[in-house]
């Protein structure tokens, strides 16, 4: 293992000032996280707590008010091919069919020749199980297939880090289970570093090597849960039925429920309970 972690989130803070007449709103308060190559990290917390904002700062899509993010020792200055994004909605282009959406991930790789691009597009098409659907437009495939398509396109671009913003949040329970299991398989075959944002505790426990539980706004890290020390690295849906899984899930739920309540109070304008 290298001496320095692959991704370093170094004392990052973020505040917004939507109106110059009022004090800035602090969204992220001095968070530091170190992530090793090949890890699957989950940011878990209530909606609106700032976990997505932190992930977007890692992706270079937003800038931190204080602190910095290093990937492979270099500071993040903006979005690029190194950091791939998978969104919850609008995750693929409706005017392109399935295979062209995957090809789009390779479109700006001038270092590859046409044959190699095509080989990779096919590889990722098959990896996510969309073979046979090449000519389907996005509006004609299911929500689960759309998210697999987004994963294939993002992987095809060849990123070092995969940033996933509640990618399965809009799916029904069966599809979500299936995609979680498939992401686990993809992660093991592709060896990518993944930052996965979710508010679903079960999803977090099933997928994560480590979970960072976020507090209500302004986001701080309440707890780091090393799931990799509790559950085996290779997980199947059966693990969700196990006692260990159940206990861990319930313990984390206890922590997050209190935070969700606090977020609710902040949103309602009540003074937060300290």
Partner 1 sequence: MAGNSSSTGPSNDEAGARGDSSLPPVGKDEPAPAPPPPSVWASLTSFRGTTGRKTDIYVGIAGFAVLLALWSLATYFEWVQVNYLVSFKVVVVRLYGMFVGENVDHSFIEDIAISLYRVAAAFLLSAIMAIPLGILMSSYRIVNGLSEPIIDFIRYLPVPALVPLTVVWLGIGETSKIALLWIGTFFQLVLLVADDARRVPREYIEIGMTVGAKPRSVLRHIILPAMLPNMVDNLRITLGWCWTYLIVAEIVAARSGIGYVIMSSRRYGKVDTILAGVLVIGIIGLATDQAIRWAHRRYFAYLR
The binding track of 152-171 with respect to partner 1, each residue x by CB under 8 A or -, is -xx--x-x------------
Residue 133, φ and ψ in degrees, nearest 5: -115, 15
> Are the C-beta atoms of 48 and 267 separated by less than 8 Å?
yes
> Are the C-beta atoms of 198 and 55 separated by less than 8 Å?
no
Nearest distance, CB of residue 66 and partner 1, angstroms: 23
State the residue for tokens 């295979």.
99
Q: Which stretch binds partner 1 (CB under 8 A): 23-31, 65-73, 79-87, 228-236?
A: 79-87
Q: Please identify which residue in 175, 210, 260, 264 interacts with partner 1, judged by CB under 8 A.
A: 175
Q: Which stretch binds partner 1 (CB under 8 A): 19-27, 76-84, 221-229, 263-271?
A: 76-84
Nearer to partner 1, 145 or 266 (CB): 145
The residues with which 35 forms a beta bridge, in sequence order, are: 7
Rounded-to-integer distance, Cα 114 and Cα 103, Å: 10
According to CB under 8 A, which residues from 215 to 244 bind partner 1?
A: none
Nearer to partner 1, 2 or 95 (CB): 95
Q: Please identify which residue in 131, 172, 246, 257 interacts with partner 1, judged by CB under 8 A.
A: 172
> Are the C-beta atoms of 259 and 216 separated by less than 8 Å?
yes
Nearer to partner 1, 103 or 262 (CB): 103
Nearest distance, CB of residue 39 and partner 1, angstroms: 20
Q: Is 145 in the site for partner 1 (CB under 8 A)?
A: yes
Q: Which stretch binds partner 1 (CB under 8 A): 65-73, 84-92, 116-124, 216-224?
A: 84-92
Q: Is 59 in the site for partner 1 (CB under 8 A)?
A: yes
Nearer to partner 1, 136 or 265 (CB): 136
Nearest distance, CB of residue 176 and partner 1, angstroms: 10
The binding track of 86-125 with respect to partner 1, each residue x by CB under 8 A or -, is -x-xxxxxxx-x------xxxxxx----------------
According to CB under 8 A, which residues from 124 to 143 bind partner 1?
A: 137-139, 142
3 state SS for the chain: CCCCCCEEEEEEEEEECCCCCCCCEEEEEEEEEEECCCCEEEEECCCCCCHHHHHHHHCCCCCCCEEEEEECCEECCCCCCCEEEECCCCCCCCCCEHHHHHHHCCCCCCCCCHHHHHHHHHHHHHHCCCCCCCCCEHHHCCHHHHHHHHHHHHHHCCCCEEEEECCCCCCCHHHHHHHHHHHHHHHHHHCCEEEEEECCHHHHHHHCCEEEEECCCCECEEEEECHHHCCCCCCCHHHHHCHHHHHHHHHHHHHHHHHHHHHHHHHCCCCCCC
Interface with partner 1: number of residues (CB under 8 A)? 38
Q: Please identify which residue in 47, 80, 237, 251 interacts with partner 1, judged by CB under 8 A.
A: 80
Binding residues (CB under 8 A) for partner 1: these are 59, 61, 78-81, 83-85, 87, 89-95, 97, 104-109, 137-139, 142, 144-145, 153-154, 157, 159, 172, 174-175, 178
């Amino acid at each position: 293992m290298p001496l320095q972690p692959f991704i370093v989130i170094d004392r990052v803070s973020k505040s917004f000032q939507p109106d110059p007449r009022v004090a800035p709103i602090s969204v992220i308060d001095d968070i530091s996280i170190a992530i090793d190559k090949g890890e699957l990290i989950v940011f878990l917390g209530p909606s609106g707590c700032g976990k997505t904002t932190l992930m977007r700062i890692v992706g270079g899509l937003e800038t931190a008010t204080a602190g910095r993010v290093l990937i492979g020792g270099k500071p993040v200055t903006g979005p690029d091919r190194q950091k791939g994004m998978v969104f919850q909605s609008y995750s693929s282009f409706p005017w392109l069919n399935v295979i062209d959406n995957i090809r789009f991930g390779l479109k700006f790789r001038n270092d590859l020749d046409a044959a190699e691009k095509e080989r990779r597009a096919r590889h990722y098409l098959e990896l996510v199980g969309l073979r046979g659907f090449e000519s389907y437009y996005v509006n004609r495939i299911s929500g689960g297939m759309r998210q697999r398509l987004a994963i294939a396109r993002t992987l095809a671009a060849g990123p070092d880090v995969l940033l996933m913003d509640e990618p399965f949040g809009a799916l029904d329970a069966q599809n979500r289970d299936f995609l979680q299991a498939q992401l686990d398989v993809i992660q093991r075959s592709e060896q990518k570093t993944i930052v996965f944002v979710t508010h679903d505790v079960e999803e977090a426990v099933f997928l994560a090597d480590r979970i960072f539980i976020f507090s209500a706004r302004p986001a701080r890290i309440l707890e780091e849960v090393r799931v990799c020390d509790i559950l085996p690295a290779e997980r199947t849906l059966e693990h969700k039925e196990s006692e260990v899984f159940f206990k861990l899930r319930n313990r984390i739920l206890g922590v997050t429920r209190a935070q969700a309540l606090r977020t609710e109070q902040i949103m309602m304008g009540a003074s937060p309970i300290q």
